[in-house]
């Protein structure tokens, strides 16, 4: 774990599922519990056992303040950490729908701010997080954010903040699309005569295994699809339905992702 973080300290605002997953990863990675200050109105019991500071006064200039509160709690949470602005502390936000400009208003334009969008597989260390920094954030700040956020999975950098809406729609909301795919695939199996339990077992394992294969294989997903599709076979029969340009996956997912991206833009404006 980064020496500066261990030496100067890290403030974690909010320690729910996402904040807790990150903290667990940092502690496993060697960050001393005494270097962590957690601010949370309802701290979990395991935090006390972990040895971190809970709802205590912050150090004067921690290396990082990571904001992991829910967007609706942002107004109440930010004043508590506003004093950390000015440039000595890197501010990282994993809160959805809150633009960098909001944090610059609170912490001041001289504060390095990085906005991050993780997703729910972070809970098992399989998430992916996209990050973008403000003009004050340096490559060193971005590298530190990558190191911290890698505790919950992969990290990618964006070219500009406007891309965050598309990221939200693809990877942020994307797990819900996959969960719904599992639900509907299992329901289709039941309609063809399988028991509900067996259909769900098959659907979960199929989606999970295919996702792992897509990540690990040297071929791209298009080629993997071709590999499993025999001419005039069962898979081709199904794909002719799913790949229909009007009613299949291409049109459906394009509409779904656009709806999510549009809503993300609305939330950012409201924030």
Find out whether 28 is annotated in a ligand binding site: no
Query: 127-133 and 113-117 as β-strands: parallel, antiparallel, unpaired?
Result: antiparallel
CB 12 within 8 A of CB 23: yes
CB 111 within 8 A of CB 89: yes
Find out whether 2 is annotated in a ligand binding site: no
Find out whether 55 is annotated in a ligand binding site: yes
As a whole number of angstroms, the distance between CA 129 and CA 19 comes to 13
| Secondary structure (3-state) at 103 | helix
What one-character-per-residue DSSP string does 44-76 give? -HHHHHHT-EESPPPPSS-SEEEE-S-GGGHHH
Q: Residue 162 is encoded by which pair of tokens?
A: 């406007």
Find out whether 68 is annotated in a ligand binding site: yes
Find out whether 102 is annotated in a ligand binding site: no
Please state the residue numbers annotated as binding site: 55, 68-71
Annotated binding-site members for NADP(+): 68-71
Positions at the binding site for NADPH:
55
């Amino acid at each position: 774990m980064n020496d500066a973080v261990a030496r100067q300290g890290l403030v974690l605002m909010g320690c729910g599922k996402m904040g807790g997953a990150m903290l667990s990863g940092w502690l496993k990675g060697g960050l001393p519990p005494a270097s962590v200050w957690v601010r949370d109105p309802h701290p979990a019991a395991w935090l006390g056992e972990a040895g971190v500071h809970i709802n205590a006064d912050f150090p004067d200039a921690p290396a990082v303040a990571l904001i992991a509160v829910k967007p609706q709690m942002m107004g109440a949470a930010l004043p508590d950490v506003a004093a950390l602005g000015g440039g000595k502390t890197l501010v990282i936000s994993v809160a959805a729908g809150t633009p960098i400009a909001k944090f610059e208003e609170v912490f001041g334009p001289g504060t390095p701010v990085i906005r991050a969008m993780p997703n729910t597989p972070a809970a098992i260390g399989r998430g992916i997080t996209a990050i973008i920094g403000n003009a004050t954030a340096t490559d060193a700040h971005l590298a530190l954010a990558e190191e911290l956020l890698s505790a919950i999975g992969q990290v990618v950098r964006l070219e500009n903040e406007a891309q965050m809406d598309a990221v939200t729609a693809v990877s942020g909301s994307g797990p819900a699309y996959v969960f719904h795919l599992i639900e509907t695939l299992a329901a289709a199996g039941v309609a063809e005569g399988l028991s509900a339990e067996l259909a769900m077992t098959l659907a979960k394992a199929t989606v999970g295994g295919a996702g792992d294969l897509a990540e690990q294989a040297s071929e791209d997903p298009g080629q993997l699809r071709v590999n499993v599709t025999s001419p005039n076979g069962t898979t081709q029969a199904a794909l002719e339905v799913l790949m229909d340009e009007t009613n299949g996956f291409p049109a459906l997912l394009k509409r779904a992702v656009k709806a999510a991206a549009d809503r993300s833009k609305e939330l950012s404006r409201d924030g």
